[in-house]
Amino acid sequence: MGYVFDFNDAVAYEKWFDNPRNRFVFELENRLMLDLLKPVQGETLLEIGCGTGAGLLTFLDTGVQVTGLDPSPYMLDIALKNVGNRADFHRGFAEDLPFEDNSFNYACLITTLEFVEDPKKAIEEASRVAKDKIFLGVLNRYALKGIQRRVKGVFTKTIYNRAHFFSIWELKQTVRSILGDVPISWRTVCHFPAATGWITRGMEQSAMLQRWPCGAFIGMVVTLVPRFKTRPLAVSIKVKHTTGAAAG
């Protein structure tokens, strides 16, 4: 089942956005997500682990029809307050999505894989319900910020004690073990622990820096390629027997 955010977690998560520095981080991650996914107006998207709905609001601004799913009723309560009836909400788990195959154009897991029990199964389910692309946004194991979070967790109880951090190579290997050699694009943001100055803020938005694999947040888009199973069919041929000598 993984870790389900309780009431205190949900309240703390919502308050996180009150800090201007955190708001800038959120905007960086959202810009990266939109640049990689390139959602088309009018198409459908499922956010798996939608939390308080902040990501759903970003997609709504692009004209995408959105659906949010989260295992935490406390997160869903806040999301409903923030988003209202502009999105459909469901309570459920990433490893067992309550939707039919190919129900959405896109599926997104943004800082969700870190807290599920079975990340591979969660990616399988996202690939099942989406028909075009999936977006995976995860915390980077090899980023300076990721190392700081893990070290802090040794001495202080934090939510990151329950998180599994990923690397780009681990994530790509997991995806290709499920889907084969599908097209994958990735970039990272949040390379500096505190992007407060205008210079570091400008550098964070550099496409060249985002191709460096050590940003705190990894964004990865997987383009889903249809796969078909074939079955050989036996073809019956009747041979016409002729009599007599061959001409010529």
- For 13-35, the pLDDT digits (tens) are 888 888 888 888 898 899 999 99
Q: What is the CATH number of the domain that holds 120?
A: 3.40.50.150
Residue 239 lies in a domain: no
Give the best-scoring range by mean pLDDT among 11-15, 57-61, 150-154.
Answer: 57-61
CA dihedral 171, 117, 25, 156 (to 10 degrees): -120
What's the pLDDT score for residue 73? Answer: 96
Residue 197 lies in a domain: yes
pTM of the model: 0.85
Residue 158 lies in a domain: yes
Domain limits at 89? 7-223
Residue 230 lies in a domain: no
Residue 245 lies in a domain: no
What's the pLDDT score for residue 39? Answer: 95
Residue 237 lies in a domain: no
Q: Which of 174, 197, 196, 76 is nearest to 122 (CA)?
A: 174
Q: What's the total number of domains in the chain? A: 1
Residue 2 lies in a domain: no
